[in-house]
Amino acid sequence: MSMPQSPVQWRQVKAWVFDLDGTLLDSRPDILAAASDTLVDYGHAPLPAGYQLPNLFGTAGELVRDVFVERGYPAPTDLVRLRAEFEAHYAAQNPSQARLYDGVPQWLDWARQQGVALGICTNKLERLARDGMQQLDIAEGFGAITGSDTYGVGKPSPEPLLRTLVQLGVAPQETLFFGDTHADAACAQAAGVRFAWHSVGYGDARVQALPQVLRYAGYGELLHQVGAQQPALSL
């Protein structure tokens, strides 16, 4: 059952914080390849073509552990090592197959022109987040980029999002958090931040049971919304 939504008053929003994978960029091919290479490191067969990852919302160690479990292999107990091996494979992919969702550059450009503060709150390592944003040429103008290692905790804990807001110098009620999974929605709810759901990302039905002020399938429709409110905007 979907949570009811109320219209977003864009003039009241001073900061936009984004999840990264499944929200601004589709990195599923890179994640899949790195998980497959990690399985091979442990003596298992690579993942089959078309494999659907069971966990695209947790930290890297949790993500790969759940692949082991789904494939029927003993789950490694050393998540630090597991995460490090996955992240090494992820970082080594050249070229990356990650791509921005349609309309992302235009949406971020609009925000920069209006003086909206921009931040990233992701469950991947901060270094990998920064590298990926540089490669895709979207890093400019972000006042805060936090990963699961920045403060030692990942979503759905509200802590990384709240600390991102401290870096940006904004209050929770002035912020809109864009994400795609229930971990993002739960993080926003616990932090007292309004949530915008990217419904074509990596989330599942669990996100629909959590509060959201906006559901969108593409950034073009968001540009249309802010364009319609443009005369009234006072950011």
Query: Which residues are identified as catalytic?
Result: 19
In Å, how far are 14, 27, 35 from 30, measured between CA atoms?
33, 5, 9
d(CA 54, CA 70): 7
Q: In what order do the strands lie in the sheet with 15-18?
A: 142-146, 117-121, 15-18, 175-179, 194-198, 214-216
- Residue 123 is which amino acid? N
In Å, how far are 51, 55, 56, 104, 156 from 76, measured between CA atoms?
20, 16, 18, 37, 23
In the three-class reduction of DSSP (H, G, I as helix; E, B as strand; rest coil), residue 33 is classed as helix
**Are the CB atoms for 117 and 94 separated by under 8 Å?**
no
Structure tokens at 207: 């996100």
d(CA 132, CA 223): 24
Q: Which residues pair with 99 in a beta bridge?
A: 26
**Are the CB atoms for 214 and 188 separated by under 8 Å?**
no
Sign of the CA dihedral 50, 52, 58, 63? Answer: negative
